Every structure is written in C-alpha cells, then in structure tokens.
Amino acid sequence: MKTVAVTGGIGSGKSTVTAYLASKGIPVYDTDSRTKGLYDSDPALVGKLEALFGLPLRTESGSLDRKKLSSVIFSDPRALAGLESIVHPLVHADFLAWRSRQGEAPLVILESAIILSKPLFDDLYDKAVLVDAPEEVRLRRASARDGAAPEAILARMRAQSFDLSKVDLIIRNEGTLEELHRSVDRAFRYLFDEDLLYLHP
C-alpha cells in the first residue's frame, strides 16, 4: 500500500483534488476533520490542553471550546508549539490505525496543509504532491468560500510555507475542473509509473 500526501495552501484546491480521488474509490484521510474528531472523542485530550494552558477550554456541554482555544494560540508560537506537541502524536497514531483498516487498497491519500513542515509526519507517506495556483486565483477562491476580508486571507496565505525539497510533483490548478481532473490522472500515473486504472472513469 502506497501513501501519497496531498498538500497545498489556502485556495489551492487540494480538497478538490482529494475529493476527485475519493470519487475514484481511493481512501482519503482528511487531517483537519480527523483532528476535530479526536477533540470530540477524547476527553483526556481536552484535559491535557487545559493543563498545558492553565485554563478551562470546555463549553457548557463539556466539548472543546474551539474559539477559546484559537484565541489562546493565535499569534503565540509557543502556545501553538505546545498544542502541536500534544495533538500531532495522536494524529500520527490515528492515521496509522486508519490506514491499517483500508484492507487491500493499493493507495491511500493523506490530506494535510502542514505535513511538509512537520518532521513527525515524514515517515507516513511515500510521495508528496503539492497543489498550487497563482496567488490571485487562490485569493479569489478563498474569498468566495470563506467570505473573509481579502487582507485577512492574504495574511493567512503568506504565513504558509512549503518545503519544496519534499515535494515529488506539483499540480497546477488554475483552469477548469475537467482540466484539473486530467492533471490529477496524469500526475498519479507519473508518480508510480504504472497504469492506475482506478483513476479513470
């Protein structure tokens, strides 16, 4: 079983790429949604974060107060590093457990915006694909999707960085959806030098 990490900045279209791959029957691990699931399913995790930051982080229902947590780590690199030191090993273990349940699948996808900048995850994937598009295209997409001010989106975009030395292939996503799908098909056949029939309609 091969694992391909699919990454990209805000508005690049990495989720569109992984949705297409999922439509072809390829299992996709969405790191964002799986991490949210860990917060919701593991009360001990919230307790560890409360102990780390020294303040309550639960809503009245007992679930994680995500807005409060965001306010704690916003613009504080040390707080963010502390959070990641607790959460990322759990995500690492969760992915390995998830992958072990994928049976005979020849290929699985690990979708993450930050994977290339976190050495802890280097052992999880065989190949890395970066989805990219011009900044103005990404800004337009993100603005339409999130409804946020362009200045705020630009600040988030420019805070992201990608270690290109870890990237095996870049998919440019600045055309139509059909063009993107064709690019994905070509990219994955190139990555593994074999006819990946499940990428075809």
SS3 for 12?
Answer: coil
Rounded Cα distance, 83 and 142, in Å? 26
Q: Is the pLDDT of residue 187 over 50?
A: yes
Instruction: Report the share of the chain in percent with pLDDT over 90.
Output: 56
- What confidence score (pLDDT) does residue 34 get? 94
Residue 92: per-residue pLDDT: 97
Does residue 39 lie within any of the structural domains? yes
Is the pLDDT reported for residue 195 higher than 60?
A: no
Burial (CB count <10 Å: 0-12, 13-18, 19+), residue 188: buried
Task: Give the length of the chain.
Answer: 201
Same domain, 123 and 180: yes
pLDDT of residue 201: 44
pTM of the model: 0.87
User: 160 with 121, same domain?
Assistant: yes
Range of the domain at 144: 1-27+108-195
Exposure string (b/e) for 74-86, b if CB count within 10 Å is 16 or more? eeeeeeeebbeee
Q: What is the arithmetic mean of pLDDT over 9-15?
A: 90
Report the chain's terminal Cα–Cα distance, integer Å. Answer: 22
Among 101, 125, 145, identify where a domain stops. Answer: 101
Span 95-127, pLDDT tens digits: 999 999 998 888 999 999 999 999 999 999 999
CA dihedral in degrees (168, 25, 172, 98; nearest 10)?
A: -50
| Domain termination residue (choose one: 67, 84, 101) | 101
Share of the chain above pLDDT 70, in %: 96
Confidence of residue 200 (pLDDT cuts 50, 70, 90): very low
Instruction: Count up the domains in the chain and report the number.
Output: 2
Co-location of 140 and 64 in the same domain? no
Mark whether 170 and 140 lie in a shared domain: yes
201, part of any domain: no
Q: Are residues 75 and 164 in the same domain?
A: no
pLDDT digits 0-9 by tens, 56-103: 988 888 888 888 998 888 778 899 999 999 999 999 999 999 999 998
